[in-house]
Amino acid sequence: MNTRVDPALGKPEAPAASLRTVLLQHPLLRPAAALLVLLVLDALLVPGFFRLEIKDGHLYGALVDILNRAAPLMLAALGMTLVIATRGIDISVGAVVALSGTVAATLIGGTMVVNNGVPEYVANTPMGTALAAAVGVALLCGLWNGVLVAGIRLQPIVATLILMVAGRGLAQLITDGQIVTVYYKPYFFLGSGYLAGLPFSLFVVAALFALTLLLVKKTALGLFIQTVGINPVAARLAGLRTATLIIFVYVFCSACAGLAGLLITSNIKSADANNAGLLLELDAILAVTLGGTSLAGGKFSLAGSMIGALIIQTLTYTIYSLGVPPEVNMVVKAIVVFIVCISQSGEFRQLFKKRAA
Amino acid sequence: MTALGSGMQPVLDVTGIHKQFPGVRALCDAGLRLFPGEVHTLMGQNGAGKSTLIKVLTGVYQPDSGSILLDGRPIRPRSTQDAQALGISTVYQEVNLCPNLSVAENIFIGRYPRRFGFVDWGSMRRQAAELLKRLQIEVDVGKPLASYPLAIQQMVAIARALHTDAKVLILDEPTSSLDEAEVQTLFGVLRRLRADGMAILFVTHFLDQTYAISDRITVMRNGEREGEYPCAELSRLALVNKMIGAPADAEQGAAQGEEAWERGEVFLAAHGIARKGVLQPVDLALHRGELLGLAGLLGSGRTETARLLFGADRADAGSIDVGGKRVKLANPRDAIAQGIGYCSEDRKHEGAILPLSVRENVILALQARQGIWRAIPMKRQQQLASDYVKWLGIKTASIETPIGSLSGGNQQKVLLARWLATEPGLMILDEPTRGIDVRAKQEIMDYVSNLCRKGMSILFISSELPEVLRVSDRMLVMRDRKACGEYRRGELDETSVLQVIAGEGA
């Protein structure tokens, strides 16, 4: 009979950790498994779920659709991950989405000019300037949040609550409470254009993900963020600039939200200050949690948050494609989230293991 | 002073308390007797078991064995509420009241007087005012608690304790955040309560305060009751001696075979650094290759001095020169840039980043100094970590093991490595050997002495006097938040240091 160490007893097989144990203990296992289960479910229930086809040189299919629709959430989740890793939280993400989208849409707008008898729309402000202004506003929002948290030491949830309310209010002021429609075509490329057959928004997400990963892994940023999140007192005594770090993560988070705002307004060709990015912060927090990053701060996983965002989007897709009435949507979502979260709770797993043993 | 008649029965009689925590024997045959109408001080070094004993009395911990008699009847409080209902009330070091509620509300939290099922605000205010009058405290009970200074808040906490018809009042280090005048006010209240027959148990680290207010003293050491003494019959020297525990061979090491030590130039000089309410002006100079010991009891200003030198707290007065140049140490970064390292006494809260690996903990301070962009290459990180693991004899499964799973001694060595990796000119070690086993202690001290020989300056703080005497080239003795003497190696023996610590003219 083989002597096998029961992983439930928490005794690691010391010398040669087998591939199996490495895989089983990998922090991404659970979120990845949850996503897989959802996909398999879709494959069984939705005919042709995995089918991809090329029309007009563009890739079409449910999977592409899910990825495309998840793009703003993935961006927001990236920023939220770093904020949560410092033991913070940012509930102003949705407001920043509305604000940056509104700024861009208002500046670009579009005026019809007739050129050689062909009506055409031109931007009110050069698109580059408008995008820069929108991102700039987002950066200012982040700076505001960061200074409130690190400088004035407000609790993160209260500090960002201010902008959550004020940001959307400001956006409504800009638009006079109306929906601003964009007519300038090149702007649509951001949220609904295609590059090499794939939605352009995916390239935005991929680029930002790669950039963040690089920052976190190739500089000391990852180590510092974790240290501040785990033990801010010890971090300060070890010589870290804790305040600067915290301000940075809020600025970064708002920048991500600003980009998400651009994708959203570009995709729907208008800016709705009331509804753009509504409750996106909660989905982002959820994505981070589903990805295995603890709200208590410290260790974090960017890839996990991306998977988390995909879980949420796939779930939404599944619910809609199954024809579940929209009223039930939230309940189903809540149940799935509850199951995934509870499966990540160490105490629950312990309980389960005792039963099984 | 109250007469303690021999026939008088103690209101609280605690005997034979044992309490074991995983791996630590916190209390062993601990006990104490408290009579009505006395102020009884509980003294002992850090880790002597005072807080554990109090937590047993107030129902926070359940003792493994032993008996607690209140008015002759055995009790076993299960919770603080339970203890309060029995008549044991406690005022903690940090006032744990609600600053934004009114004074009256704070006194009656959870026990609001009711009338027809509604809170009777009028009666509450009247009762609160009466209670405070009894303590001769003039405050407006309708104002929020936060509008009064800490000392008054402390009185309100006492008033709250009194309202529960307490027989025993426990004050756990109530004076540590009060200034001199506030302490006097508090003592005035305690004297009045004593005259009313209250039994008061007072926990403090300050010798002067002990002698100003106590009738009797119980000394604890290593979780045991060392003894109980009438205050008037116990000299300060004897008290400190009993707290520290006079070692059998104090001479060992101090006198024998040390090569003549040569002073290098001055590395750091502090002139009159002070912080209001925390530390009175202190001068000190540290030469290169010198090990300066800081002796004194907890609360004497040792750690406070160290924190000012490291920029962890800001000094209100005085100046610091490093390498002959005036420097400004506004935060730890400034101090680290000047080549100063600081191992805090609070390893868990101010040092170790528990979930992170040994490697990450070792490189942290070095990386912080290099800044965020110049990441130390992984190869170099691993090299640094494994070098220090080898040199300091750190017992760990690998350098990627989370530091939280290491023993206390090994964690301490990792933190030492964190600072050594920055190659500091001055290393401040605040209680580096607290709570770790004898062997690790010895290894750390040997390593430190060795570094000193190579030219590093070291400021060494320890509650264990024999340790300080053994390793220090020079020693600064502190008492009651100020420095009160500086001695060269061999100038003092243990007894005379004890005299200085205790504040009896040497």
Q: Which among B498, B476, B506 has a CA at the least distance from the CA of B489? A: B476
Nearest to B372 among A221, A298, A299 (CB): A221
Domain-embedded: residue B321: yes
Burial grade of B401 (CB within 10 A; 0-12, 13-18, 19 or more): middle
The DSSP element (H or E) to which B122 belongs, if any, is helix B121-134
Closest Cα to residue B459, out of B442, B476, B444? B476
Please calculate the CA angle B144-B150-B151 and round it to the nearest 5 degrees.
Answer: 110
Does any CB of chain B come closer than 8 Å to the CB of residue A231?
Answer: yes
Q: Note whether B367 contacts A: Cβ–Cβ < 8 A.
A: yes
Asked if B392 and B273 sit in the same domain, the reply is yes
Instruction: Give CA–CA dist B15/B216, Å, rounded.
Output: 17
Q: B372, A235: Cβ pair inside 8 Å?
A: no
| Residue A38 belongs to a domain | no
Please give the Cα distance from A139 to A127 (Å, whole number): 18
Which is nearest to B367 in space by CA: B424, B426, B422, B310?
B422
Residues B271 and B396 in one domain: yes
Contact B421, B284 (CB under 8 A): no
Percentage of chain B with pLDDT > 70? 91
Distances (CA, A) of A354 to A342, A348, A350: 16, 10, 6
B298 φ/ψ sector (left φ>0, alpha ψ -120 to 50, else beta): beta
Whether B367 sits inside 8 A of A220 (CB atoms) is yes
Residue B309 contacts residue B351 (beta carbons within 8 Å): no
Q: What is the CATH number of the domain that holds B120?
A: 3.40.50.300
| Residue position matching structure tokens 């990386």 | B367
pLDDT over 70 at B451, yes or no: yes
Chain B residues within an 8 Å CB radius of A15 = none
CA distance B461 to B309: 13
pLDDT digits (tens, 9 = 90+) for B138-180: 888 888 888 887 778 888 888 888 777 788 999 888 776 676 7
Distance from CA of A201 to the nearest CA of B (A): 29
- For residues B365 and B497, membership in a common domain is answered with yes
Q: What is the pLDDT of residue B23?
A: 57
Q: Which of A22, A25, A87, A223 to mutate to test the interface with B (most CBs of B within 10 A)?
A: A223
The pLDDT value given to residue A352: 67
> CA dist A330 to A14, A315, B107, Å?
45, 11, 46
Return residues 306-325 of A near B (CB < 8 Å): none
Q: How crowded is residue B126: how many other Cβ atoms within 10 Å of its Cβ?
A: 14
Could you tell me the CATH number of the domain that includes residue A272?
A: 1.10.3470
The reply to whether A296 touches chain B by the CB within 8 Å rule is: no
Q: Out of B183, B213, B244, pick the residue that ends a domain.
A: B244
Q: For chain A, 357 residues long, give each residue's pLDDT as a single digit of tens.
A: 344 433 333 334 344 557 777 777 788 888 898 899 989 988 888 888 888 888 888 888 889 999 999 999 999 999 999 999 999 999 999 999 999 999 999 999 877 778 787 777 888 888 999 999 999 999 999 999 999 999 999 999 999 999 999 999 999 999 888 888 888 888 899 888 888 888 999 999 999 999 999 999 999 999 999 999 999 999 999 999 999 999 999 999 999 999 999 999 999 988 998 888 888 999 999 999 989 888 888 999 999 999 999 999 998 888 888 888 877 878 887 887 788 777 767 677 677 666 655
User: Amino acid identity of B253?
Assistant: G
Backbone angles phi, psi at B387, to 5 degrees: -60, -50
Q: Rounded to 5 degrees, what are φ and ψ at B33?
A: -120, 135
Q: Could you tell me if A269 lies within 8 Å of chain B, comparing CB atoms?
A: no
pLDDT at B448: 84
Boundary-marking domain end, from B183, B211, B244: B244
Please report which helix (H) or strand (E) contains residue A49, including its range: none
Phi, psi for residue B224 in degrees, rounded to 5: -115, 160
Residue B128's pLDDT is what?
A: 87
A293 touches B at CB < 8 Å: no
Domain for residue B173, yes or no? yes
* A229 belongs to a structural domain: yes
Dump pLDDT digits (tens) for B65-124.
999 999 989 999 888 888 888 888 888 766 677 888 888 888 888 777 777 878 888 888
Q: Is B356 on the interface with A (CB under 8 A)?
A: yes
- Residue from the list B350, B360, B369 with its beta carbon closest to the beta carbon of A234: B350
Select the more confidently predicted residue: B218 or B278. Answer: B218
Say how many domains are in chain B: 2
Tell me whether residue B356 is in a domain.
Answer: yes
Q: Which of B211, B244, B277 lies at the terminal end of a domain, its last residue?
A: B244
- Selected residue with higher pLDDT from B462 and A252: A252
Is A131 a member of any domain? Answer: yes
Is B461 a member of any domain?
yes
Same domain, B318 and B199: no
Q: How far from B137 is each of B90, B122, B132, B156, B447, CA to CA, in Å?
A: 19, 20, 5, 9, 55
- Same domain membership, residue B240 and residue B385: no
A231: nearest CB among B331, B353, B365: B353
Out of A240-249, B52-61, B359-368, least confident range: B52-61
* Residues of chain A neighbouring B397 (CB-CB closer than 8 A): 14
Q: Are residues B211 and B288 in the same domain?
A: no
Asked if A174 and A273 count as a contact pair (C-beta separation under 8 A), the reply is: yes
The closest CB to that of B332, out of A221, A224, A239, belongs to A239
Q: Establish if A4 belongs to a structural domain.
A: no
- Total Cβ atoms within 10 A of residue B205: 20
Q: How many domains does chain A have?
A: 1
**Mean pLDDT value across residues B473-493:** 84
- Is pLDDT above 50 for B401? yes
Residues B108, B109, B115, B118, Cα dihedral to 10°: 150
Q: Is the pLDDT of residue B336 over 70?
A: yes
**What is the CB neighbour count within 10 angstroms for residue B19?**
22
Q: Are B152 and B292 within one domain?
A: no
Identity of the highest mean pLDDT range in A44-53, B264-273, B496-505: B264-273
Strands A111-115 and A118-122: antiparallel
Residues B227 and B355 in one domain: no
Is the per-residue pLDDT at B249 higher than 60?
no
Cβ of residue B350 closer than 8 Å to a chain A Cβ: yes
* B126 and B238, same domain (yes or no): yes
Q: Is A305 a domain residue? A: yes
Inter-chain contact A219–B372, Cβ cutoff 8 Å? yes
More confident residue, B256 or B77: B77
Residues in chain A: 357
Residue range(s) defining the domain that contains residue A265: 61-338
Confidence (pLDDT) at A5: 38
Claim to verify: residue B410 and residue B459 sit in the same structural domain = yes
Q: Is the pLDDT reported for residue B449 higher than 80?
A: yes
> A87-102: string of b/e by CB count within 10 Å (b at 16+)?
bbbbbbbbbbbbbbbb
How sure is the predictor about B3, in pLDDT bands with cuts at 50, 70 and 90?
very low
d(CA B124, CA A286): 46
Domain that holds residue B430: 266-502
| ipTM of this complex | 0.84
**Is there a single domain that holds both residue B347 and residue B465?**
yes
Mean pLDDT estimate for chain B: 84
pTM over cut 0.80: no
A44 interface with B at CB cutoff 8 Å: no
Facing residue for B372 by CB, picked from A224, A234, A236 = A224
> Which residue among A14, A219, A238 sits closest to B364, beta carbon to beta carbon?
A238
Structure token pair of residue A190? 């951001």
Residue B129 token pair? 């005012």
Indicate if B211 and B342 belong to the same structural domain.
no
Q: Is residue B252 part of a domain?
A: no
Of all residues in chain B, the one with the smallest CA distance to A218 is B375
Which of B35-39, B338-342, B400-404, B483-487 comes out lowest in average pLDDT?
Answer: B483-487
Q: What is the DSSP string of B312-380?
A: SS--SEEEEEETTEEE--SSHHHHHHTTEEEE-S-HHHHT--TTSBHHHHHHHHHHHHH-SSSPPPHHH
Radius of gyration of chain B (CA): 25
Contact: A234, B349; criterion CB under 8 Å:
yes
